Amino acid sequence: MPCEHCPHCKEQEAIAAVLAERMSQNSFQDFPNVVQEPQPMEEVPPLNRCQQPVALDICNNWKEQKLHFVEGNANSGKTYLLSAMWALLKNMELNVEVISSCPFPRQSKPILKFLALPDEYIEEIDIILIDNANQITEQLMKCLSEKLKRIMSTDAPFGGKSVVLAADFGQLLPFGGDFKNKSKCTLKHLTENIVAPFKKHSLVIQHSDEWSLFIDNARKSPKVAIPTTNIVKSIEELIEFAYGTLYTEPPHLHSMILTPKKNDVDLINKKVLEKIKGKELVLEALFNGKKIRSDLDLHELRLKKGSILILEEPFEGLAKGTRLFFEDYDRTHLNCRVIENNKLVDIERVHRFLAPKSPRKSFKEEQQSVKQFPVALGFASTVHGCQGRRYVNLGLFKMNQCFEHGMLYTALSRVGRFEGLRIVADDNIIENKLEPRDKRVPAASAALAEQNDVPVVDPAHHLNGVPLLRDDQKKIAMEICHIWKDQKLSCIEGIAGTGKTYLLNAMRTLFKNVNLQTEFISSCQHHPAKQMKKLLGQRDEALENVDVFIIDNGNQITKEELDCLNNKLQRAMISDEIFGGKTIIMAADFGLILPVSAEFKNKLNSSLKNFVGIGQFKKYSLATPDNDWGNFLNSVRTDLEVHIPPGNIVKSVDELIEFTFGPLNAVPPNPKSIILVAKNLDRDLINKKVLDKMKKRVIIIEAQHTSNIIRSDLELHQLRLKKGCILVLEEPAEGFPKGTRLVLEDVTRSHLNCRTVETNQCVDLERVKRFLSPSTKSPSKMKSKPQGIQSVMQFPVSLGFSSTIHSCQTIQFDHLGLFKIDKPFEHGMVYTALSRASGRDAWKIVAEGSVITNKVENSLL
């Protein structure tokens, strides 16, 4: 209560009244703005002259150049550089995430844990830093790219996110199998196996001392000479060097003994434990609350206070492989301290599953387990188990038994000086196992360059198996084949029906007749043609002997993919010339729909229409057929209004289906026919209508989940078919690409017996795992807990009576029906649809009027 006669209280009441009056008038200009406290800046560690330009280049251009790859030998400071870049990017107020399977100075996650993060969290990330990329498989990296594409709703590599990798591929690759297969599964051939151009940065050691030269020699030389001062003769000397005099003092915590095989790890751990002063604790495993009395090492854990332990599985936020110092023990806990950060942790018993003597007969049969502490002695480790870690003192045991490429180099690189290294060896020369390097000699092109007479292909003399050509086709083939060594880049343009693919096949035969090696790239043809992504996944050595690359349907290929091919061939041929000096012949029709997502402007920039940044292609044009059909297609390609002939218009869907597939009550549908629509909803409608009209019994194939049939009315869980219906592959199967058209002949319990439409080959399809999109009905649950992606077992097919225009840009049909394309939403859609017909009388359209509004790119008007 204010005092009645107090002048101070009266003054406060007057101020309050003035404030109330101002606030009632919404006049807030007299009130000072509240300034938020600035965020604390991250401390950036100092960088050397080699690291600084790399960090500045990546951080300043992270929006323009999104993919970077930092390579360097051990001790070149890759992890240190990523840590500094993390601080720089954080100070730029960017959201940065680090992926690393090994200890990292900043907060990091393994890649599997990152892939399990919710979509909302990943969407906010700006830059992803990946340390020790040699520990990551290509399959995991592709999973990361596909997840980011799905989250960001874009086809750009890694969803348009910036990704920085750091790796040393001279070290051990962490996967099973022989080295050849391991190398294929890793990111070693990074720019070859991923269709995304990574910019490479190389770190070199600034001051090359004796240790750096020794490590570099261990990375490259088949024999490594060890200095005599670093050799000891017995394992006891090695233990004393690494851990000190264990009888009088605790072991050195930042030391390790490495050996290639697990048996030697157990031997060394036992020897070191015996040398430690103190009483040995024997911790028995528990089964149903009772101790297991057994002499098996599997059932007991022998420790002493002061032992070094290692976590064998993640526990309380600590990663697998974390090193601990054992301090005390009670009945239910091990009291330990994390060696890296000196943090206290109490380890409890967890369930440890035992391998069964025989396979379980059913999923209901329980797997036996015991309760034991998830730790093991950590005085020694295999070379595989210590990648990414550094030690003060390092001992190496039986390194003459290295059985894998890069094992000796990986072991030696775990320490940073000669004084911290000792090796048990009888001789100072150790045999090293290295990656088998191929002699990268561009054989074919080098041989041709040395010859005075380059093979000349003449259609007049090398006609073995060459199809007949029209005059305009023959003129183009003769010019390109005569000067294939001088004019290396050629592009053949022409509208639909001008015979571009036919001409390319003829030229391929001509080149083959003079023993020139060709590679045919196409998104629609089968063997021997390859898809561009499959070609980019080949090793460099496989492309050295290829003389001519023939690319069909160039409008289906992005500029980014052709840039990748350019970089790959330049690297394979060790040449800065465009495409490594190889000859490229391309055919395209850029009036068709471009296959890249996003708005047309971006699609046009990312297509090959203008050949931006690729090189000077010489253009050839095939003449448009001088007939009614050719003139009609040419007008559809360029005019804003399309006038439909009255004979090609039908009034209902039923008439369209009967024209396209025939009278389905009497005969099976014509497999070389299709109805094209603009949207997926109309496609599903047409497929149902055609299936209903077929004179056969409906076969309902339910999806399966863990071998149990899912009883559901959802179309997602059911496949409704009839014998004789047309199917389309929704993913590659049995060597056939996605989109292959099939005819269903029979159905068994576990197979669909089909025949391909194009080649008439028999195909038996099995169920595969089909992943379902997670439910978005409860966003609150999704944010609180990551949801797993549900999957069912189902056949990888769907009905193929109808298709969207985007999905069939490269196939010609005997009978073509068009439904609801009178309102196109993309440039070239009407032209693309009509170009799938084989002639004027081979198509019909459902339309109310005879004029359709067309959408055409401005340059074609």
Q: In the structure encoding, which two tokens stand for residue 773, read together?
A: 């999109």
Domain residues of the chain, as ranges? Answer: 1-32, 51-203, 211-356+368-431, 444-621, 635-773+786-858
194 three-class SS = coil
In sequence order, the 6+-apart residues with CB closer than 8 A to the CB of 361 are none
469: left (phi over 0), alpha (psi -120 to 50) or beta: beta
Please work out, in degrees rounded to the nearest 5, the angle formed at the alpha carbon of residue 645 by the alpha carbons of 644 and 648.
Answer: 90
Are 195 and 557 a contacting pair, CB within 8 Å? no
- Round to whole Å and give the CA distance between 717 and 25: 63
Specify the pLDDT at position 715.
Answer: 59
Specify the pLDDT at position 394.
Answer: 92
Architecture field, domain 444-621: 3-Layer(aba) Sandwich (3.40)
**CATH annotation of 51-203:** 3.40.50.300
Specify the pLDDT at position 780.
Answer: 39
- Round to whole Å and give the CA distance between 835 and 825: 18
Specify the pLDDT at position 40.
Answer: 63
Do 51-203 and 444-621 come out as alike in CATH topology? Answer: yes
User: Can you give the pTM of this predicted structure?
Assistant: 0.50
231 three-class SS = strand
Specify the pLDDT at position 366.
Answer: 53
Cis amide leading into 251 (omega within 30): no
Are 853 and 823 a contacting pair, CB within 8 Å? yes
Are 431 and 223 a contacting pair, CB within 8 Å? yes
Specify the pLDDT at position 8.
Answer: 63
Q: In the structure encoding, which two tokens stand for residue 52, read together?
A: 């600084």
Rounded to 5 degrees, what are φ and ψ at 699? -105, 120
pLDDT along the chain (861 residues), means of 10: 62 72 56 50 85 90 88 86 90 90 84 88 92 82 87 87 88 61 60 60 77 84 87 90 86 90 89 88 72 57 90 83 89 88 87 59 55 88 84 89 82 88 87 59 35 44 63 86 84 86 87 85 70 80 87 82 85 84 88 63 60 64 83 84 88 91 87 90 91 89 71 67 92 83 90 89 86 46 45 86 83 88 79 86 87 69 47
3-state helix, strand, coil in the chain (%, to 5): 30, 25, 45
Residue at 840: amino acid letter: R
Specify the pLDDT at position 446.
Answer: 38
Pairing between β-strand 429-431 and β-strand 223-225 as defined by DSSP bridges: antiparallel
Q: How would DSSP label each residue in 83-132? A: HHHHHHHHHTT--EEEE-SS--SS--B-HHHHHTS-HHHHHT--EEEES-
Are 701 and 827 a contacting pair, CB within 8 Å? no
Letter string b/e over residues 464-478, b meaning 16 or more CB atoms within 10 A of that residue's CB: eebeebeebbeebbb
Q: Residue 74's closest CA among 151, 127, 163, 134?
A: 134
Q: Residue 141's closest CA among 119, 170, 163?
A: 163
- Round to whole Å and give the CA distance between 69 and 196: 11
